[in-house]
């Protein structure tokens, strides 16, 4: 039986962080993570600010979250800085995750090519930056979910058989 994956979920949104907009992405990812059998241990809503995003990632990693999911800030608007925040902390980027998410999403919308969704290893956590739209975030997580358990083990430096 697979070990439970401890998950942290970070919603990146200026409006949701200010209370002007209901966070829908975080709850959608929480439900998806639970469906995969993962255990959500931490959740936060932060503004589109590199330092605040990085602070939340570091805090969740320190709390033992082997998987950190972000939703929002992966587009091309001036305030979309989630990829930059992650790249500022990462040890290594995992391009296949972003490629798989864009390829799957392209079957649904031509605008998927504008996504900067990505995954990286930050300290001992696998961090996956997902789109801000709840349905898009859940769909993209589905495209890469099969590699998550192995990715988390590698990020946490757990010996694997393959």
**Nearest CA to 70 among 108, 112, 111, 122?**
122
Q: Does residue 130 sit within a domain? A: yes
Contact 23, 132 (CB under 8 A): no
Q: Does residue 146 sit within a domain? A: yes
Q: Does residue 97 sit within a domain? A: yes
Domain that holds residue 104: 31-155
Tell me the pLDDT tens digit for each residue of 30-50: 999 999 999 999 999 999 999
Q: Helix or strand or coil: residue 133? A: coil
Q: Does residue 134 sit within a domain? A: yes
Counting DSSP H helices and E strands in the chain, the numbers are 6, 6
Interatomic CA distance for residues 41 and 51, integer angstroms:
22
Interatomic CA distance for residues 42 and 122, integer angstroms:
17
Tell me the pLDDT tens digit for each residue of 89-134: 999 999 999 999 999 999 999 999 999 999 999 999 999 999 999 9
The secondary element (H helix, E strand) that includes residue 102 is: helix 95-106
Q: Does residue 162 sit within a domain? A: no
Partnered with residue 119 across adjacent β-strands are: 128
pTM of the model: 0.96
Interatomic CA distance for residues 8 and 154, integer angstroms:
17
Reading the block at residue 128, the tokens are 């996956």
């Amino acid at each position: 039986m697979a070990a439970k994956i401890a998950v942290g979920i970070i919603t990146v949104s200026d409006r949701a962080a200010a209370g002007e907009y209901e966070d829908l992405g975080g709850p959608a990812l929480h439900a998806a993570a639970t469906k995969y059998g993962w255990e959500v241990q931490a959740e936060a809503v932060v503004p589109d600010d590199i330092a605040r995003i990085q602070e939340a990632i570091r805090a969740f990693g320190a709390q033992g979250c082997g998987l950190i999911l972000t939703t929002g800030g992966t587009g091309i608007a001036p305030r979309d800085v989630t990829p930059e925040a992650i790249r500022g902390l990462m040890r290594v980027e995992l391009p296949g995750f972003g490629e798989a998410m864009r390829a799957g999403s392209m079957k649904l919308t031509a605008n998927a090519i504008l996504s900067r969704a990505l995954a990286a290893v930050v300290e001992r956590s696998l961090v996956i930056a997902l789109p801000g739209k709840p349905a898009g975030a859940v769909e993209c997580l589905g495209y890469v979910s099969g590699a998550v358990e192995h990715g988390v083990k590698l990020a946490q430096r757990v010996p694997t058989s393959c």
